[in-house]
Structure 1
Amino acid sequence: MIQSDWGDWLVREVEDANPDGVAVWYLGCNGFVVKGTEGTTIYIDPYLGLGDPPRTVRMIPVPFDPTDVEDADAVLATHEHTDHVHGPSQAPILANTGAAFYAPDDSLAVARDDEDWTDEWAVTDDQLSEVSEGDTFEIGEFTIHVEEANDPDATHPVSYVFEHDAGTFFHGGDTKPSGEFERIGDEYDIDLAALAFGTVGRIPDKQTREPKRTRWYNDENQIVECAAALQCDRLLPSHWDMWKGLTADPTALHHHAKGFDHPQRLEVVEIGDRVEL
């Protein structure tokens, strides 16, 4: 069972909130909650695990226990990696709330086959829905578009565009620059884009456990390249806080972004922070 460092105050804050438009909470790693003015609540890539020490060591608090979540309409996953699809983090949310889980095929394979969510937790198979690039679906007051992502370390990554009357939020998962981003930037008026940012570090290899030079996330130039192509008004760097050896300073991005038309503003947030569309 997952034990939170923070108790239940964050999930209660989300559930008690009444946004004027759309509120977005950062959960650390690449996790977010979005909530609209009508109360629709969507979790994206929530991960509450500790990693695989000493290979991957979590550097931030576990912000909530998933069994404390009482109000959620959906959980979305961007790709199949453990810190994006994780039964102990996500299945209890589905079981408690009846929320739907949306994910690409290889992510669903983790839930159905590798972790057997429907046997290990009170999750039904009809709660698990497959998505792929080009799909559009509605969750409450949000229209969600499934778009391409460029994550060479994943087998089938996607990104999501959340459209709402109050604005548009883009979640890129662990994507790096993509030739599709200029099209996406032309097609949508993106107010806020969350993109993974980190340094290159020496992480023990999964098989040999020998330290290996590892780049999992965008560096300073890549993340600004993504934001510029997406033509987003605001850039929110994510994932920089999570793994020992790969942490980064997001304030350094001010220097990289100021020479471009987009992003117009940098949103530097810490785990538990809330921003508005």
Structure 2
Amino acid sequence: MSALMQDIDAFDVPARGIAIWFLGQNGWVIKSPGGTTIAVDPYLSDINAGRRPGIDSARRLPIFIDPENLKVDLFLCTHSHIDHACPVTIEGSHKAGTTRFAGPAETQAVFARAGVGEAEREVTFPNQVFAIGDITITGTYALPTDDTDLNHMGFVFQVDGGPRFYVTGDSAPVGLLRYARKFEPQLMAVCINGGFSNLSHWEAAELVREVDPELAFPCHYDMFADNTCPPHMFRASLTIQGVGEKYRLPEYETPFVYVMGEGGRGWSG
């Protein structure tokens, strides 16, 4: 088994807390005090390399978990783009023993082609609320970035008696994203790469100011040479907008723990 997956399995999450691991791009593993594990958009292959002529989309990061070791309670995708619903990762995780896969409509064909049976996959949609173990998940709105997938989403993860973690997913800029403030998340992960129609670092910082989490993690800036953004630009944008204290830079393979009433520990920023 991959060392990181062993660490995740063995990690004890404090009561009223949440633990989060960053896998690069928009890849996250979430764990609750009850031991529930959720993988969000794990891209654990190099299948995107060379797919678009003239664009360097080769993987720049290590593969932190072998897909065939990624056994989680829920494999969740925000949309069907290959760096979010990676068929290699899906197939490997299914072989590892993951039996529940979920995502918006256009992810369903990806799951099916990767060998996930109809009874093991489910469609998600904005405003839907569902639960697994001691985590309740609410689907949120995201604006598609191109016409290859018109079903983008984000998610809010609520640990029973604990914090809420909002993952925007890929989204083009649109004012309606601000509605996520009503979920009152303590933590927020937001894409910051302005290339290919996603939120820019400035637009991401504006959204953080509007949603007002305690802490904000940049993502989707580090995987491909031709779709990067230095995360310090997001930090600077937050600072200019008067909320620089919210910034936390994710560290690969390292858990970030947040406990209600005690705040977060890890990831210095």
TM-score, normalised relative to structure 2? 0.86
2:178 matched to which residue of 1?
182
**CA separation in 2, counterparts of 1:65 and 1:86?**
13
1:230 matched to which residue of 2?
211
Instruction: Verify the 8 A CA contact 1:181 1:229 in the aligned structure 2.
Output: no
Instruction: Return the match for 1:156 from 148, 151, 164.
Output: 151
1:195 matched to which residue of 2?
190
Q: Aligned-residue CA RMSD in angstroms?
A: 1.8
Q: Which runs of 5+ in 1 are unaligned?
A: 1-6, 201-214
Residue 133 of structure 2 corresponds to residue 140 of structure 1: yes
Matched length: 248
**CA separation in 2, counterparts of 1:234 and 1:105?**
30
Cα offset for 1:96? 2.3
Q: Secondary structure at the match of 1:18?
A: coil
Instruction: Verify the 8 A CA contact 1:177 1:225 in the aligned structure 2.
Output: no
**CA separation in 1, counterparts of 2:197 and 2:257?**
28
**CA separation in 2, counterparts of 1:173 and 1:109?**
19
**Farther off after superposition, 89-98 or 33-42:** 89-98
Question: What residue identity is the alignment partner of 2:78?
Answer: T
Instruction: Return the match for 1:117 from 109, 114, 117.
Output: 114
Instruction: Verify the 8 A CA contact 2:140 2:155 in the aligned structure 1.
Output: yes
Q: Which runs of 5+ in 2 are unaligned?
A: 259-269
Cα 1:99/1:230, change in 2 over 3 Å: farther
Question: What residue identity is the alignment partner of 1:136?
Answer: V
Cα 1:148/1:179, change in 2 over 3 Å: same
Question: What residue identity is the alignment partner of 1:36?
Answer: S
2:266 matched to which residue of 1?
none
TM-score, normalised relative to structure 1? 0.83
1:257 matched to which residue of 2?
238
Identity of aligned residues (%): 24
